[in-house]
């Protein structure tokens, strides 16, 4: 329906990554009028934007897809940890199977949204000039949609090519034979450095904090292997709904503090051989709680890592004798040959803790140790994570404040999905949900199911107004803090606590109690008639 040029819909979904795609398909299937709006020109969310060389997912492919049998039956990833082109192919496959694109407006970034109490609708304006008036506004912009570029002096003077990993040119950029500098050693920095080391004339990695990266143990998957793995999918997909991180495994039911030194070492070795996140979330259950256990895990990681690095001075920068933060209290990434590249003659490492950046010049980077000439500067400097995607849209609530203004005093997001004063607004994969700790597709499906059921409920009540209550969101905020207080997580300066962005309020941004527990709480609220929300 049209109303003064504005299109009216039941539901407007923002974003066409896993969460947005799930909801578009699901709500359409329930007979609602729904459209998605997407800033990129293709599907995939982070996999649309993060197309830098080496970008790949740190979850195993079998887990990094939807659990619907009609979707997994005909799909295969050819690597255990697929790279971005294959994940994009998966989204194209979803598009063919589910006919998604016909209801997606691409190349349009949502800029402003305002709730109109009289009509009980949102008015949503986008960069392409479109105005949409949905009854319900569901934001699925993920936790890494606002790239962060540090304000380095002289950055704009740099005369070479300069790209943030999350804004990489879609047509690609050849690093072969170039002098490449990478600032940042998070997941993106590690991945792009591995790739650049193989082709660049010279690679310089600028590290501020060591990444306690774990062995990926990448594998190519042939058809027989995939067939065999698929036999286990139904059980694995059931299991992943209940675990801490949305994977088909969990931590052991044992603490490192309660076993002998021999058993501890043997277990560390065993999970190390499994690789992936197993040495982190598939290991002893007290690693993020008990300081001594954590230190033992750190020492194990450090010794394994240092054994691969020839120069002891480089080893001390990458894997210091004394940890800078507790093991796993900041997200480790998965690496393939990251620690080995520093043995190559074309790769060097700059320790920004000892020799900070003074400025970027026309021709490179000047630190207190000297100047490094560069043709390409890669900013692998991360995101205004978890909240940045939502707060960069001007979302006006009933009391005349934007969500950004409201959250300046700290995030209030009941069950990580709704905020008081913003009726009929839901966000999936957002702050105070467990999604920063969870496998993306699992979280997108589980939260998506909950949102779909809730929208069906309000539709049955003539699209009643739905809003989180203030006491409920305050109680949830307390629960988010309580879940993490007992852990070592707050001791690291991570994006989980907003510490990566200068001036950002430091507080826990995600629920650390686990995805399974979280969904049980959400479902209990629904069963009690959406306790914690007012409907009317």
Site for ligand NA7 in 311-350 (CB under 6 A): 331
Rounded distance, CA 429 to CA 432, Å?
9
Token pair listed for 368: 């207190």
* 185 counts as binding ligand NA7 under rule CB under 6 A: yes
Residue 39 lies near ligand NA7 (rule: CB under 6 A): no
CA end-to-end span of the chain:
24
DSSP state for residue 345 in the 8-state scheme? T
Residue 188 touches ligand NA7, criterion: CB under 6 A: yes
Minimum distance from residue 140 beta carbon to ligand NA7 (Å): 16
329-363 exposure pattern, b = at least 16 Cβ within 10 A, e = fewer: bbbbbbbbbbbebbeeebbebbbbeeeebbebbeb
CA dihedral in degrees (294, 298, 300, 301; nearest 10)? Answer: 140
Q: Binding ligand NA7 by CB under 6 A: which of 243, 402, 500, 525?
A: 500
196 to 225, contacts with ligand NA7 by CB under 6 A? 208-209
User: Which lies closer to ligand NA7 via its Cβ, residue 150 or residue 160?
Assistant: 150
Question: In angstroms, what is the minimal distance from the CB of 81 to ligand NA7?
Answer: 13
Stretch that binds ligand NA7, among 68-76, 110-118, 182-190, 194-202 (CB under 6 A): 182-190
Closer of 441 and 532 to ligand NA7 (Cβ): 441
Q: Is 382 in the site for ligand NA7 (CB under 6 A)?
A: yes
Q: Read off the tokens for 392.
A: 């960069």
Residue closer to ligand NA7 (CB basis): 146 or 302: 146
Q: What CA–CA distance (Å, rounded) separates 93 from 87? A: 10
Nearest distance in Å: CB 191, ligand NA7: 8
CA 274, chain centre distance (Å): 23
Q: Does 364 bind ligand NA7 (CB under 6 A)?
A: no
509 contacts ligand NA7 (rule: CB under 6 A): no
Which H, E and C letters describe 405-471, residue by residue?
Answer: HHHCCCCCCECCCECCCCCCEEECCCCCCHHHHCCHHHHHHHHHHHHHHHHHHHHHCCCCCEEECHH
Closest residue by Cα to residue 338 from 184, 202, 185: 185
Binding to ligand NA7, residues 245-284 (CB under 6 A): none
Check residue 183 for interaction with ligand NA7 (CB under 6 A): yes
Q: With H, G, I as helix, E, B as strand and everything else as coil, classify residue 181.
A: strand
Residue nearest to ligand NA7 (CB): 186
Query: Which of 40, 54, 142, 184 is in the footprint of ligand NA7 by CB under 6 A?
Result: 184
**Interface of this chain with ligand NA7, residues 439 to 498, rule: CB under 6 A:** 495
- With respect to ligand NA7, which residue has the nearer C-beta, 157 or 263? 157
Q: How far is the CB of 112 from ligand NA7 (least distance, A)?
A: 27
Query: How many residues touch ligand NA7 (CB under 6 A)?
Result: 20
Stretches 19-27, 120-128, 374-382, 507-515: which one binds ligand NA7 (CB under 6 A)? 374-382
In 362-410, at which residue ranges do the beta strands (DSSP E only) sit? Answer: 364-367, 370-373, 376-379, 394-396
| Residues in contact with 101: Cβ distance below 8 Å, sequence separation at least 6, in sequence order | 43, 95
Contacting positions for ligand NA7 (CB under 6 A): 144, 150, 165, 183-189, 208-209, 331, 352, 380-383, 495, 500
């Amino acid at each position: 329906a049209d109303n003064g040029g504005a299109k009216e819909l039941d539901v407007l979904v923002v974003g066409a990554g896993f969460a947005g795609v799930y909801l578009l398909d699901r709500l359409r299937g329930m007979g609602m009028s729904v459209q998605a709006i997407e800033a990129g020109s293709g599907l995939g969310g982070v996999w649309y934007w993060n197309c830098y060389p080496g970008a790949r997912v740190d979850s195993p492919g079998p887990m990094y897809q939807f659990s619907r049998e009609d979707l997994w039956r005909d799909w295969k990833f050819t690597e255990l940890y697929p790279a971005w082109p294959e994940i994009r192919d998966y989204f194209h496959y979803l598009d063919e199977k589910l006919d998604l694109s016909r209801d997606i407006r691409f190349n349009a970034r949502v800029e402003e949204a305002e709730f109109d109490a009289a009509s009980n609708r949102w008015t949503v304006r986008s960069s392409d000039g479109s105005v949409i008036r949905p009854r319900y506004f569901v934001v699925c912009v993920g936790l890494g949609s606002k790239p962060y570029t540090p304000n380095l002096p002289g950055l704009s003077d740099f005369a070479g090519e300069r790209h943030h990993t999350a804004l990489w040119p879609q047509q690609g950029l050849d690093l072969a034979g170039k002098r490449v500098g990478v600032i940042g050693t998070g997941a993106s920095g590690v991945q792009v450095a591995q790739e650049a080391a193989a082709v660049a004339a010279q690679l310089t990695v600028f590290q501020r904090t060591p990444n306690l990266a774990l062995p990926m143990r990448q594998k190519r998957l042939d058809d027989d292997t995939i067939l065999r793995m698929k036999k286990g999918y139904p059980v694995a997909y059931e299991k992943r709904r209940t675990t801490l991180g949305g994977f088909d495994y969990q931590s052991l039911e044992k603490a490192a503090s309660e076993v002998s030194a021999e058993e501890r070492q043997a277990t560390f070795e065993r999970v190390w051989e499994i690789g992936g996140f197993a040495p982190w979330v598939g290991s002893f259950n007290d690693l993020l709680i008990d300081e001594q256990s954590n230190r033992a895990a750190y020492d194990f990681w450090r010794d394994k890592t240092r054994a691969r690095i020839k120069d002891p001075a480089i080893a001390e920068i990458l894997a210091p004798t004394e940890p800078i933060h507790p093991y796993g209290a900041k997200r480790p990434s998965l690496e393939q040959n990251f620690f080995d590249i520093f043995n190559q003659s074309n790769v060097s490492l700059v320790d920004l803790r000892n020799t900070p950046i003074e400025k970027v010049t026309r021709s490179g980077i000047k630190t207190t140790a000297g100047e490094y000439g560069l043709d390409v500067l890669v900013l692998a400097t991360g995101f205004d994570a978890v909240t940045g995607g939502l707060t960069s849209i001007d979302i006006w609530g009933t009391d005349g404040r934007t969500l950004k203004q409201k959250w300046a005093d700290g995030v209030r997001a009941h069950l990580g999905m709704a905020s008081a004063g913003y009726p009929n607004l839901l966000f999936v994969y957002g702050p105070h949900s467990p999604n920063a700790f969870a496998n993306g597709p699992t979280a997108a499906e589980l939260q998506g199911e909950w949102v779909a059921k809730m929208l069906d409920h309000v539709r049955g009540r003539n699209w009643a107004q739905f809003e989180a209550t203030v006491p409920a969101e305050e109680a949830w905020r307390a629960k988010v803090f309580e879940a993490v207080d007992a852990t070592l997580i707050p001791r690291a300066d991570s994006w989980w606590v907003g510490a990566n962005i200068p001036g950002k309020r430091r507080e826990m941004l995600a629920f650390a109690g686990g995805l399974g527990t979280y969904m049980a709480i959400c479902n209990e609220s629904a069963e009690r008639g959406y306790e914690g929300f007012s409907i009317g």
